[in-house]
Amino acid sequence: MVLIHKIDRIKNYISFLKVVTIPFILLTLLISTYSNASPANNSTIGVVSQLGYVKSLLSQIGPILSAVLFILAGIFYAIGQLMTPEKKASFHTTAINLIIGAIIVAVLSFTSTTLATASTHFLSNSTLK
C-alpha cells in the first residue's frame, strides 16, 4: 500500500512538472529575447538566436529525454500489471501518455533543424515587409 501511495505521488509530481515547465520555458525565452533587444539592434536577431539555442538544446537533450520517457513508460506499465484493475488502468494510461510524449520529443528533436530554419525564414520575411 505504501508503494502505491509513493507511485501516486510521483505521478502527481510528473503532471505538476508538465504544467509548470512549458510556461516557464516560454516565459524564459520571451524575457531573454526582449532583454537582448536594444533600439539599435533588431529584435528579430534576438528571436533568431533564441531559435538557434532551442534547436541546439532539442538536438542534444531531445533523444536522451525521449529514451528516458520510454523507460519510464515501461516501468509504469510493469508496475501497473501488479495492481488492482482500477490502478492498472491508471498506470497504463500514464504509460501511454509517456510514450506519446516520448514520440513527440523524438520527432521535435529530429526535426528541430528544419523547424528552426523555417521559422528563421518566416521571421526574416515578415520583418522585411
Domains of the chain by residue range: 57-129
Global confidence as pTM: 0.54
Cell reading at 39: 533600439
pLDDT in tens, the chain (129 residues): 666 777 777 777 777 667 667 666 666 666 665 555 444 445 556 666 777 777 777 778 888 888 899 999 999 999 999 989 998 999 999 999 999 988 988 887 777 767 667 766 666 665 555
Buried b (16+ CB within 10 A) or exposed e, 87-106: eeebbbebbebbbebbeebb
**φ, ψ of residue 102 in degrees (nearest 5):** -65, -40
How many other β-carbons are positioned within 10 Å of the β-carbon of residue 31?
A: 10
CA 30 to chain centre: 17
- Residue carrying the nine cell digits 512538472: 17
- The tally of CA atoms less than 13 A away on the side-chain side of residue 57 is 8
